[in-house]
Amino acid sequence: MDKDHLRILFIGDVIGEPGRKAIFVALSDLMREKKIDFVIANGENASGGFGITGEIAGKLYSYGVDCITSGNHIWRNKAIFRDINGDQKLLRPANYPRGTPGRGWTVLEKHGVKVGVLNLLGRVFMEPLDCPFRTAQKEIPIIQKQTKIIIVDFHGEATSEKVAMGWHLNGMVSAVIGTHTHVQTADERVLDGGTAYITDAGMTGPFDSIIGMKKDGALKKFVTMIPSKFIVAEDDIRMNGALVTVERESGKATHIERIQETVPF
């Protein structure tokens, strides 16, 4: 580990078994190559393409993931209600109403350094939850009492809302990483307040697909507007994400780069 900097990898939305396999196969080598200190993955689609379970979360931890964030599909697999309260490394969006199971942020220590992770869900074209902007304003000062290194997963549909969150939190957090659309954007940068930003980290899973699902079913839905079963695709497995370099003392980001790894099987 660099004594002055922390290198944090954020892995874009993990899609079903192919996405989990990609992490199993590629993460350890990538960590050595890129000198990665801490790993966050959005795992809300890790169970069959929709939802996650405690068992699957445990597998991702065993592969090297330190923290799992989520989004609007967090509740799709009912098994999660049994597991989420007992797992401080598995997050659901913090702007769900009070009383919702689980936690919206956490602070984890690794190699003597504390990293805060905050999960938020957008409202544009999404569920009408509590305001993510006001939720961030409320929760971040609490996290800052424990660490200046804070990574935010903003799970949202609208690019405008994600960009707005980046500027809203500029200078308050180390990075704002967008998730949900499964398509990696090319707008990575470090804002003038020292906050790294990217609108979407992309997805980890099968790219011979329509955002992770077999093409026939997704096309049928678009062409006919008749409900169709979505099945996770299997081919052209890739890992998408973003790697952020953060000053350990200040919590300011100094660099962000996109990760695009093809995973051989």
Residues forming the active site? 73
Q: Given the structure tokens 């790993």, which residue do they identify?
A: 39
The helices-and-strands tally (H runs, E runs) of the chain is 6, 13
* Residues in CB range of 189: below 8 A, 6 or more apart: 196, 197, 198, 256
Backbone angles phi, psi at 100, to 5 degrees: -70, 140
What tokens does 1 get?
A: 């580990």
CA distances from residue 75 to 29, 81, 94, 95, 122 in whole angstroms, order as listed: 32, 8, 14, 14, 16
User: How crowded is residue 103: how many other Cβ atoms within 10 Å of its Cβ?
Assistant: 16
